[in-house]
Amino acid sequence: MKIIKVKAKTIFTKTKLPASDWVINQYVGCDHACSYCYAKFISRWKSGDYGKWGEWVEIKTNAPELVKNKYVNGLVFMSSVSDPYQSIEKDLKLTRQILESMDKKIRLVIQTKSDLILRDIDLLKQFKDIEIGFTINNLQKKLFEPKSPSNDRRIKALKILKEKGFKTYVFISPIIPNLIDLKDIILKTKNYADYYWFEFLNLKAAGKEFQQTLKREFPESYETLIDKREFQEFVKECKKMIKSQNIKVCGIEMH
């Protein structure tokens, strides 16, 4: 993993993400190396030979200083182009340092795929308004998420955080025909989640390499995604099932 150290001018950035006002990305890039990741587009803007997505991470070394004594109105989302608890965080502890420095009155939402977040429960408890979400799916890890923690670990961490009194949510993404069992995920998490977000795969944003892999390995899934009528029927069935589960849904995203 190539680590590129940079100094940022600012750390709170205005965002158009749903239900968020600000985003904080102390890391740019992610060592989870998820093949469908929409943030891959960032690579084209990076100077120098960073390498393939998933093989490099930029770290904003001065992020803890930038959040210190800084309050922003609105909801702050961590993070949009990385995972704040990707594996390098275990040693770097950049996210932990940010949480230590951040104004605890800030309204904070953290989204991750890692149970490493449990390490920081002591700091998370200090925030007056905080929500923690896990991206959960049941895709084939080896092909789609080769370096991220297992879904079982994520669900276990979700359960622990809920039992500790945190407001929690589940972000089920990417939803791909024939490859994801929505009902199974909901049944395994509904006792530990206050609400849900759902996101259907954005095939274009996932990139050509992912498209080729999906077409080769799962042609039926690929064909459903590119056939407008079939895809609409798939979405209709998913929405019907979601409605039957008696859960709070904050959004169903389609691109």
* 87: preceding bond cis by omega (within 30 degrees): no
Helix H segments across the chain?
63-67, 89-92, 94-101, 121-124, 141-144, 151-163, 182-189, 203-206, 208-217, 219-226, 228-244
User: Domain 2-253 has what CATH class?
Assistant: alpha beta
DSSP H helical ranges for 22-86: 63-67
Residue 45: pLDDT band (50, 70, 90) is low
Q: What crossing angle do the helices spanning 219-226 and 228-244 adopt, rounded to 10°?
A: 100
Distance CA 255, CA 253 (A): 7
pLDDT digit string, tens, across residues 129-160: 999 999 999 888 788 998 999 999 999 999 99
Q: For residue 77, is pLDDT > 60?
A: yes
Instruction: Express each pLDDT in 90-113 by its tens digit.
Output: 999 999 999 999 999 999 999 999
Backbone angles phi, psi at 77, to 5 degrees: -105, 130
Domain borders along the chain are 2-253
Confidence of residue 47 (pLDDT cuts 50, 70, 90): low
